[in-house]
Amino acid sequence: MKRLWAPWRMKFVETKTAGCVFCDVQKEADGPDDLVIFRGKRCFVILNRFPYTTGHMLVVANEHRNSLEDLEAETRAEMMELATRGMGVLRSVYHPDAFNVGANIGEAAGAGVAGHVHIHVVPRWTGDTNFMMTLAETKVMPEALEDTYARLRLAWDSC
């Protein structure tokens, strides 16, 4: 058996909370520690701490609700506007070839935070899955989250 050491994951293992990570982050000050890129009236945009690709954003409703249909129309509208704006910011910084945009509603659908609805905005590049992903089931991230946060936060204000 081969091993891939990822000591930075220990911070995640040791800091898991019993509550909701999205509710908890709303109580924190914005910055590289919480990875919040933007706060709207009803939603916020945050980097995924365990991204599929560099720049993987989440658009999260402020309210702790299970599903999109549990939200007010204004909140759903803001979520879509922020997802769209996020795509524009990601285009300007990383020049992706495409995007995956969607929500995993419920644990059976693959939601990592099943009780708090959010939309994923995942930039994609042609050929962004390679032998590491296919054979080793390991994703190689070319940029530290703190650097991604700094680049996207700066771009968000200018877009």
Q: Residues 29-39: pLDDT tens digits?
A: 888 889 999 99
- What is the rounded average pLDDT of the residues 65-75? 96
pLDDT attached to residue 154: 93
pLDDT band at 127 (very low <50, low <70, confident <90, very high): confident
- Kindly report, residue by residue over 74-105, the tens digit of the pLDDT: 999 999 999 999 999 999 999 999 999 999 99
Fold of 21-158: HIT family, subunit A (3.30.428)
Helix 145-158 / helix 73-94 crossing angle, nearest 10 deg: 110
Per-position b or e across 3-37, b if 16+ CB within 10 A of its CB: eeeeeeeeeeeeeeeeeebbbebeeeeeeeebbbb
Does 95 qualify as catalytic in the annotation? no
Beta bridge pairs of residue 27: none
Query: Of 56, 116, 118, 120, which is the active-site residue?
Result: 118
pLDDT attached to residue 110: 80
